[in-house]
């Protein structure tokens, strides 16, 4: 049975906004469809849109967390929250979905460092510092006259490292990226970003950025968005392979992961959703990748990173 660890999806946010469940069959991810993989660990992000700020941002997170908690309570045999080391041990032994709760957008903090304590107590394991716009931490990729990290952002980075909450720079501007690298003492994650060399979208990583993350023992999750794969409407699973090939040519064997962006973007025409991750796995093997390397990309790299941080 194939192992799967996915660093990013927007399924929880989509279920909240559309008043549906995590078992919705029309979504890219449904719990029932994903249980064909074992172990399966899924990062569920709570996206904070740029226009939502201060108390409304934290309230959005709270509503998503309540929905997740209720789902877990009603389906204890199918999913559980990974907060402690024992939960990661459980994920290797039980055929259910190990859920990692993440946040996409540092605006969730509302400029209040104490809110990070609350997120930590809720079990949040990773925070994407910005979305495309500005927030109290710094500038995202969509800001023209972008700034780097703010004094508050530096405070957030230090506390995230104290709490072992992964620092995610997907969506960060280049200026913010380099400031974070200078500020952080440990590894950095790009949960859903591809190679700018292969597709010159600003959301993708330059070779220099990838090498820095590799040297700091970070993670980079391959994003399935057509726009970040080849910039066209005709992207296929082979485009995912192209980005993997390039990152591996830079020495990314222990860095590369899956960061699907399921339920948050337009995905390749030959990829329906999580049910087709097995087909992607087989495509890697067909293209000549050794099974051990494919297992690292699909599961082991991310699993070892997060298990070491609890």
Cα 302–303–307 angle (5° rounding)? 120
Please report the pLDDT score of residue 232 as a whole number: 86
Query: Domains of the chain by range and CATH?
Result: 4-307 (3.20.20.140)
- Tokens linked to 49: 């849109």
Please report the pLDDT score of residue 112 as a whole number: 97
Query: What three-state secondary structure class fits 256?
Result: strand
Please report the pLDDT score of residue 62 as a whole number: 98
Between CA 175 and CA 148 the distance in angstroms is: 5
Between CA 203 and CA 140 the distance in angstroms is: 9
Cα 155–50–47 angle (5° rounding)? 80
In 3D, which of 127, 130, 115, 110 has the Cα closest to residue 50? 130
- Tokens linked to 114: 């104490």
Determine how many CB atoms are found less than 10 A away from the CB of residue 228: 25
Please report the pLDDT score of residue 233 as a whole number: 85
Please report the pLDDT score of residue 6 as a whole number: 98
Contact 101, 44 (CB under 8 A): yes
Question: What DSSP string runs through 115-166?
Answer: HHHHHHHTTEEEEES--SSB-SS-BBTT-TT-----HHHHHHHHHHHHHT-E
Please report the pLDDT score of residue 208 as a whole number: 98
Which helix (H) or strand (E) segment holds residue 41: the answer is: strand 40-47
Contact 305, 187 (CB under 8 A): yes
Between CA 109 and CA 26 the distance in angstroms is: 32
Contact 22, 11 (CB under 8 A): yes
Spatial CB neighbours of 278, under 8 Å, sequence gap ≥ 6:
2, 36, 37
pLDDT tens-digit readout, 232-253: 889 999 999 999 999 999 999 9
pLDDT tens-digit readout, 79-114: 999 999 999 999 999 999 999 999 999 999 999 999
pTM: 0.98
Please report the pLDDT score of residue 156 as a whole number: 98
In 3D, which of 111, 113, 91 has the Cα closest to residue 100? 91
Backbone φ and ψ of 5, nearest 5°: -130, 115
Please report the pLDDT score of residue 90 as a whole number: 96
Please report the pLDDT score of residue 1 as a whole number: 85
Please report the pLDDT score of residue 192 as a whole number: 98
Q: With a cut of 50, which residues of the chain have pLDDT below it?
A: none
């Amino acid at each position: 049975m194939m192992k799967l660890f996915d660093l990013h999806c927007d399924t929880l946010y989509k279920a909240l906004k559309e008043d549906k469940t995590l078992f919705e069959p029309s979504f890219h991810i449904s719990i029932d469809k994903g249980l064909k993989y074992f172990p399966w660990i899924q990062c569920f992000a709570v996206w904070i849109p740029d226009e939502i700020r201060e108390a409304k941002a934290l309230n959005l997170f709270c509503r998503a967390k309540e929905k997740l908690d209720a789902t877990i309570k009603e389906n204890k045999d199918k999913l559980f929250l990974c907060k402690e080391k024992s939960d990661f041990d459980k994920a290797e032994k039980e055929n259910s979905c190990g859920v990692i709760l993440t946040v996409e957008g540092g605006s969730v903090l509302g400029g209040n460092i104490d809110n990070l304590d609350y997120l930590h107590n809720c079990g949040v394991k990773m925070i994407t510092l910005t979305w495309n716009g500005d927030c109290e931490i710094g500038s995202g990729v969509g800001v023209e006259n972008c700034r780097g990290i703010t004094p508050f952002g530096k405070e957030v980075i230090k506390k995230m490292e104290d709490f072992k909450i992964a620092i995610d720079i997907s969506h960060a501007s280049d200026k913010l990226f380099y400031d974070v690298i200078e500020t952080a003492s440990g590894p950095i994650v790009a949960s859903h970003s591809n190679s700018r060399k292969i597709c010159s979208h600003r959301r993708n990583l330059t070779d220099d950025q990838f090498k820095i993350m590799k040297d700091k023992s970070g993670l980079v999750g391959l994003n399935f968005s057509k726009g970040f794969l080849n910039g066209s409407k005709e992207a296929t699973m082979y485009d995912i392979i192209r980005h993997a090939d390039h990152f591996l040519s830079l020495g990314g064997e222990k860095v590369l992961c899956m960061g699907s962006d399921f339920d948050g973007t337009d995905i390749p025409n030959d990829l329906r959703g999580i049910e087709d991750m097995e087909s992607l796995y087989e495509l890697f093997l067909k293209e000549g990748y050794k099974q051990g390397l494919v297992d690292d990309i699909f599961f082991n790299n991310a699993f070892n990173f997060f298990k070491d941080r609890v």
